[in-house]
Structure 1
Amino acid sequence: MPGYLEAGAWGVVAGAALLVGALVGLYVKLPKRWISAVMAVGAGVLVSAVAFDLMDEAFQKGGFDAASIGLIVGAVVYFGADLLVSSRGAKHRKRSGEQQDGGANTGMALFLGSLLDGIPESLAIGVSLLSGEGVSWVFVAAVFLSNVPEGLSGAAGMKTSGRSTKYILGLWSGVILTSGLAAALGYLLLDGANPNITAGIQSFAAGAVLAMLASTMMPEAYEEGGAVVGLLTALGFLVAFTLGKLQS
């Protein structure tokens, strides 16, 4: 199989967890505390992926400058896009006279976060194959594990706000296809690229993920699940950390 097709396939595999989570959120009636528990574990997995897979590698490739700039840009881009989504949602509720419901905004914020971190993550998957050592299965597993709660909670929030099943599944399917395309493009376009560029891509994903975690995923999990989400987040972090050490 050509390298770019293999990269694209791995990108689709990592992103497919979003659809798995979305299907559970749409068709399985889980208590909100269970959903918050899954979100908490996923948040811990993402924190580990940010620290050890994205930022550490970005620093090794491009140093403090590339890693720092990418992180800040990723966080700012997510912040701006999330602010835009929230303001449009508020305007819609005001015009329609509906009572404020955070489900739609939370769902769209998680979708936005998945898109903004999924593209750089998939590019990173494509780049990792250029070394000839194969894809990092730990990184793919971390992305997969973290995507399940994002898809689940995002779809559940959109469903609560009245979005159709077709609309929700279409959004998440679009992210998956975009992830596969980004991984293939990463393999094709970033071969021999300046290390600062690949470092910036990885740290951009880290910044978007951190901004999403702090503003959406972790507050939502705590609101529904209470203090136990702290323990579950630590558990998710430990699982991803252990996977990383097993590979090394």
Structure 2
Amino acid sequence: MRQPVFALHAASVHFGHPARAVRALSEVSLQIHAGERVALVGANGCGKSTLLRLLHGLLPSTAGRFEPDPALRQAMLFQKPHLMRLSVQANVALGLWLQGTAWGQAKALALAALAKVGLIDLAQRNARQLSGGQQQRVAMARAWALQPQVLLLDEPTASLDPHAKREVEALIDAFASGPEAMTLVFASHNLGQVKRLASRVIYLEHGRVLADLPVEDFFSGPLLQQQYPAAHFFVKGELV
């Protein structure tokens, strides 16, 4: 049996004073293994972003156990990337430099990463002057340059136009393919995107995992309707 890259055991995340705490995640138990493409779905406020931040070490668990691998290389992309007021190349090189790569080598590796996402011609442009889709591709180049084993994405195409969404989706798919494929964990409201990119779907509601199924069973199998009615209504667009 493969060792999981992430293992959560009744992990919870609460915000606020203990007496009036808001439960963002409640007793979540799951494992994610190398090579999986895991989509997190559910209504706004269901806990998708909190779970991603917990996996990335940006939030501590309030209760239960989370067992991250300290040697795991991982990167996270947000819906709107934060870019410095620097050139595109420098934005990508900066992450490498912060990890200890010499600046000259970091700049060379940044160009290779920009070529990977089709932006090498814009290497010297101010990153903040790019379109939303281009900025997200810069963020993806920055992540790819770090050679992570796991890529976490929080609604990475939600604010993009259809053409930019297709470009970013194609890159995500490419990053998760091939002999050195990254493990993907991504949150999305776009169920078409989930069908295209995911191999497994986790449905959350009020901070709890109510369904965890292969993508085929989540969208087309009778198992969903019979055993996970809340997720079934969500897929049908009937969730109140």
Q: Same fold (TM over 0.5)?
A: no
- Normalised by the length of structure 2, the TM-score is 0.30
- Normalised by the length of structure 1, the TM-score is 0.30
The structure with the largest helix share of the pair is 1
The structure with the largest strand share of the pair is 2
Higher Cα radius of gyration: 2
